[in-house]
Structure formats: C-alpha cells, structure tokens
Amino acid sequence: GAVVSQHPSRVICKSGTSVKIECRSLDFQATTMFWYRQFPKKSLMLMATSNEGSKATYEQGVEKDKFLINHASLTLSTLTVTSAHPEDSSFYICSAPRDRGRLDTQYFGPGTRLTVL
C-alpha cells in the first residue's frame, strides 16, 4: 500500500532555533499534502494545506511566518518551525491523499515529535 514517511521522527531543539520536518510520499505523487498538529490527548488540528508549485493554504489562527511550508516536488513537502519556542512542542503529522476527492486515500505519516527546550 501507499506509504508516507516523515523525517525526523523525533527532534529536540533549543528555544530560538528552526526545525525542518520532511514529509514524503514514497510510491505515489501528491500534489497536495496536509500538515496537522496534535497536542497530548487531543485531536488532530489541521494547520495548512501544502500545494505543489504554489503557496500553502493556512488555517485560521496558524502563523504562516512561524510555520513555513514548501512543497518542492510531487513527493516532498517540508514544514519549518521557525524560531521555535516551548509552546511549539507538539506532535506534527502529515498526510497525503492519493485521490483528491476521497478520504479513504488519505495516507498519514508516522509523525514527528518536536520538543523545544
């Protein structure tokens, strides 16, 4: 089946540094990818929709200058948390739909746990 990978799986960084998280679709092309954030014992919150070849679409309340998204190719989207602070610590998950119109083709990455000290 289709696989979506994320790298790194876990990262610990100092406050003020920037962290880049990669999301790759391994065996299909994804013109769209989604980035979610999940707090402990909470639901997944959609942060932004990453679009290949164009700007990302951010959800209300998500700072686009804080969370930079680049969809450089049909198989890679990156999320960069700039000048990270402890409140940015969270579990970040990406997903990619093989078929734009259907939820059952959503494939989720394994997530990246970010801890900002």
Binding residues for other proteins, per CB under 8 A? 34, 38, 41-46, 49, 91, 93, 95, 97, 100-104, 106-108, 110-111, 113
Phi-psi sector, 115: left (phi>0), alpha (psi -120 to 50), beta: beta
| Alpha carbon distance 20, 81 (integer Å) | 6
Please report how close the Cβ of residue 84 comes to other proteins at its closest, in angstroms. Answer: 19
Residue with smaller CB distance to other proteins, 68 or 108:
108
| Alpha carbon distance 17, 69 (integer Å) | 16
Please report how close the Cβ of residue 26 comes to other proteins at its closest, in angstroms. Answer: 15
Residue with smaller CB distance to other proteins, 8 or 82:
8
Please report how close the Cβ of residue 70 comes to other proteins at its closest, in angstroms. Answer: 20
Residue with smaller CB distance to other proteins, 14 or 103:
103
Please report how close the Cβ of residue 83 comes to other proteins at its closest, in angstroms. Answer: 25
Query: CA neighbours within 13 Å on the CB side: how many for 114?
Result: 31
Burial annotation 41-67 (CB, 10 A radius, 16+ → b, else e): eeeeeebbbbebeeebebeeebeeeeb
